[in-house]
Amino acid sequence: MKIISKILTIAAIAMTMGSCGPDDQAYSAEEIAAESKKANAFFDKAFDEMVDRSPMYQSYLGIKKDYGKWDEMSEENAQKELEINKEELQFLLDSINPDKLDKQTRISYKLFKANAEEAIEDFKYRHHNYPVNQMHGTHAEVPAFLINIHQVTDKSDAEAYISRLNGVEKLMDQLIVELKIREEKGIVPPKFVFPMVINDSKNILKGAPFDSGELSTLLADFTRKVNTLELDATEKKELVESAKEGLLNGVKPGYEKLIAFLTEQEKRANTDDGAWKFPDGPAFFDNALKRTTTTDLTAEEIHQIGLDEVARIHGEMKEIMNEVAFEGSLQDFFQYLKNEDQFYYPDTDEGKELYIDSAKAIINNMKGRLDELFLTKPKADIVVKRVEKFREQSAGKAFYQSPAPDGSRPGTYYANLASTRNMPKYEMEALAYHEGIPGHHMDRTISQELTGIPKFRRFGGYTAYVEGWGLYCEFIPKEMGLYANPYSNYGRLAMELWRACRLVVDTGIHLKKWTREEGIEYYTKNTSGTEREIRRMVERHIVMPSQATAYKIGMLKILELRSMAKEKMGDQFDIREFHDVVLTSGAVPLDVLEDLVNDYIASKS
C-alpha cells in the first residue's frame, strides 16, 4: 500500500526543463531513434520490475501473477527499494545520453531521473507519515482492496482471495512494527485519530463468521463473488468455508492485534497537530510542499495566495446573493444554505438513490458534449457508486478510482452518502465534473491509454497536475453554459472556496502552529461547509501535510497557461488543442506542463 501511494504521488522535477532541447541535428535520425529505444526499454523494464515487486499494484493493473499476496511493508523492503533506486539512477546516468533522445523520451529521461533522485533524497523522511489514520491506511485499504480490486472470475481467483485473507495477520504485524518505529521517533497521530481508526477496524470484525450477526463485510463480498462462478454447489460451499477459516485465522487475529496496539498507543498520544512536531519538521514540510505543488513556492507565499483567493471568491458569491435577491450578510447566506431542506435530498435510502441517479445524469450529459472541449477522449467507461458502508464514516466526500488497464474494471466515481446533508444538491455538478467527467476520468484514463510513452508516465501521477486538472474541470463547464441555476454556480464557487481555504489552513497548521480548533474556526467563518465537513477537512490537513495545497496551485497554473496561450495565439487558439497538450503527455510537474504549452504555442507561430 505504501508503494502504491508513492507511485500515485510521484514528486516533481528539481531542475528546469527548457522548451528547446539540445541540437538534434548533432545526431542522425537513426542514432536518436536507437538511443530513444534503448532509454524507453530501460524505463519499461524498471517499471515492470517495480510491478513485479508489488502484488497489490499488479492487481490494480489487472495482473494476476501474485494474486494471493500482499505487499511487503518491512524496513528491509524499504532499504531494498532505496538500493534499487540508486542502481537505476546510476544506470541512467552511465548508459543513456539525453542529448541523443527524441523530445518525448527526453522528457521521460528528466522525469525518471528526478523521481529517482527525489526518492533517494526523501528516504530520510520515509517515517514522516501516519500509516494508519482516519483518511486511509492499511486497516481500511485491506477490505477496500479485496472488495473493489480483487476480481473473482474463476476458482483460482477465489483461492487467491482466501490466501490474502490468511495473509492479513502478517501484514498487520508488519504495520505494527512500522508504527512502533515512528513512535520511537516521536511520530504519533494526534489523539482524535484513534477512535475513528479503532472503530473502522472493529467494523471489519462484525458479522459472520466473527459473531452470529449477518455476513461480515468481507464474507458477504466473497460469497457474492463466488456465487457468480460456474461451479457446482459443493465447490462453492467449500470455498466459502475456506474463506471463513481465513477470516478467523488471518483477518481476526491481525485486526485484534492492531486494535490492541492502537488502544494502548492512544493513551500516549497528545493533541499536537502540525508537522512541526516531527524530527526536522519545518524542513520536512517545506520539502512536502515542493513535492506536492511541483513549485518552489514557500509556505508563506502559499498562505497568502489562499487569503487572496478567499477574498476574490467571497466577492463573486456576493454577486450571486444579489442575483437570487438574498438579503443579509455572506455568513447569513451560508447559514441559509446549510439549513434549507430544499438544497438536500432526504437522508433515506430512496434519497441516496436519487442522488446517485442525478450524478449519473450529470455525467451522461457531459459525455454528450465532450467534443466541444476535447480531441482525445477516454475509451474506458465510468460508473457512479456509493462509498461502501464499512468505510463511509471515515472516507472522503467523493473520490475517483481509475479503470483497470485491461478493461476489466471501469473508472468509478464514488460519492459518500453517509449523510445527504453533507452532499448538497448545489454542489452536485461541480463534484461530478471534478471526480468524473471531464475531471479525473479524463486525465487518469487518457494517461493510462496513451501510447508512445513509457509505463511509469502512463500510470504515474503528480498531485498538483492531477488535482489541479480536477479543479479546473469544475470551472470549464461554466464556460459551456452549464451551472445555469445560480445556486449550482454558487456550489462551484463554494468548492473552489474550499480549495482556497485549504491553502490557508494547511500552511496555518504546519507552518504557523495553528491548532485543530483554529483551523475549524477559519473554515466555519469563511465557508458554508457543515460542521462535519469542516472538522474532517481540518483533520485531513493534519494527517496529510501539504496534500491539499495541490488543487488550487495546480488549477491556477493551468488557467495561467491557458490565458498565456490565448494571448499569444489570438484567433489560432483552440481550446480542444490546448486540452490535448495538457492531457496527452500524462501527468507532469507544473514546470514541465509550462514547457509543453510553450512548445505548442511555438509550433503554431
| pLDDT higher than threshold 70 for residue 234 | yes
Whether residue 530 sits in one domain with residue 550:
yes
In Å, how far from its chain's centre is CA 389? 20
User: Which pLDDT score, from 0 to 100, does residue 25 have?
Assistant: 61
Mean pLDDT of 440-459: 93
Residue 452 lies in a domain: yes
Q: How far apart are CA 289 and CA 287, in angstroms?
A: 5
Mean pLDDT (whole number) for 503-517 = 97
More confident residue, 28 or 392: 28
Question: How confident is the model at residue 248, as a pLDDT?
Answer: 98
Q: Considering the domain boundaries, does residue 583 fall inside one?
A: no
Q: What's the average model confidence in pLDDT over 510-532?
A: 95
Q: SS3 of 252, please?
A: helix
Location of C-alpha cell 497537530: 273
Which letter, b or e, does each residue of 251-286 get, where b requires 16 or more Cβ atoms within 10 Å of its Cβ?
bbebbeebbebbeebbeebeebbbbbebeebeebbb
What value, to the nearest 5°, has the Cα angle with vertex 347 and ends 341 and 352? Answer: 115
pLDDT over 50 (residue 416): yes
pLDDT bin (cut points 50, 70, 90) of residue 26 is confident
Instruction: State whether 254 and 292 are in the same domain.
Output: no
101 and 235 belong to one structural domain: no
pLDDT at 23: 52
Could you tell me if residue 109 is inside a domain?
yes
Picking from 425, 407, 419, 422, the residue whose alpha carbon sits closest to that of residue 357 is 425
Question: Based on the domain organization, do 100 and 142 belong to the same domain?
Answer: no
| 256 shares a domain with 114 | no
Give 16's pLDDT tier (boundaries 50, 70, 90): very low
Mean pLDDT over residues 574-583, rounded? 97
In Å, what is the CA distance from 330 to each residue of 28, 176, 314?
65, 47, 8
406 pLDDT band, cuts 50/70/90, is: confident
C-alpha cell at 325: 435577491
For 533-562, how does the pLDDT look when each residue is reduced to its tens digit (9 = 90+)?
899 999 999 999 999 999 999 999 999 999
* Residue 598 counted as domain residue: no
The helix-helix angle for 550-569 and 281-293 (nearest 10°) equals 40
Q: Convert the pLDDT of each residue in 251-275 to its tens digit.
A: 999 999 999 999 999 999 999 999 9
How many C-beta atoms surround the C-beta of residue 234 within 10 A? 8
pLDDT over 90 (residue 8): no
Q: Which domain holds residue 539?
A: 284-555
Whether residue 323 is found in the same domain as residue 461: yes
Look-up of cell digits 465447490: 235
Mean pLDDT of 31-51: 97
Q: Which residues of 465-477 are buried (b: 16+ CB within 10 A; e: fewer)?
A: bbbbbbbbbbbbb
Where does 68-181 show beta strands of DSSP type E? Answer: none
In this predicted structure, the answer to whether residue 589 has a pLDDT above a threshold of 70 is yes
Domain assignment present for residue 144? The answer is: yes
Query: Which residue type, as a one-letter code, is found at position 186?
Result: G
Q: Is the pLDDT of residue 158 over 60?
A: yes
The mean pLDDT of 362-379, rounded to a whole number, is 95
What's the mean pLDDT in 203-230? 96
Q: Answer whether residue 574 is part of any domain.
A: no
Residue ending a domain, among 229, 252, 272, is 272
Q: Indicate whether 148 and 260 sit together in one domain.
A: yes
Identify the band that residue 578 occupies on the pLDDT scale cut at 50, 70 and 90.
Answer: very high
Peptide bond into 209 cis (omega under 30): yes
Residue 64 exposed, middle or buried by CB count within 10 Å (0-12, 13-18, 19+): middle
Number of domain units in the chain: 3
Give the SS3 label for residue 410: coil
The Cα–Cα gap between 121 and 108 comes to 20
Q: Is residue 323 part of a domain?
A: yes
End position of a domain, from candidates 127, 160, 181:
127
Output the average pLDDT for the chain.
Answer: 93
- In this structure, the answer to whether residues 332 and 455 fall within a common structural domain is yes
In this prediction, residue 532 has a pLDDT band, given cuts at 50, 70 and 90, of confident
What is the arithmetic mean of pLDDT over 185-202? 96
Q: Mark which of 272, 305, 333 sits at the end of a domain.
A: 272
Residues 4, 60 contacting (CB under 8 angstroms): yes
Residue 569 in any domain: the answer is no
In the predicted model, what is the mean pLDDT of residues 430-444? 96
Write a three-state SS string for 10-58.
CCCCCCCCCCCCCCHHHCCHHHHHHHHHHHHHHHHHHHHHHHHCCHHHH
Q: Please indicate, yes or no, whether residues 80 and 155 belong to a single structural domain of this protein.
A: no
> What local confidence, expressed as pLDDT, does residue 378 receive?
94
Please indicate, yes or no, whether residues 355 and 437 belong to a single structural domain of this protein: yes
Specify whether 247 is located in the same domain as 382. Answer: no
Same domain, 393 and 537: yes
Phi-psi region of 481 (alpha: psi -120 to 50; beta: other; left: phi over 0): left
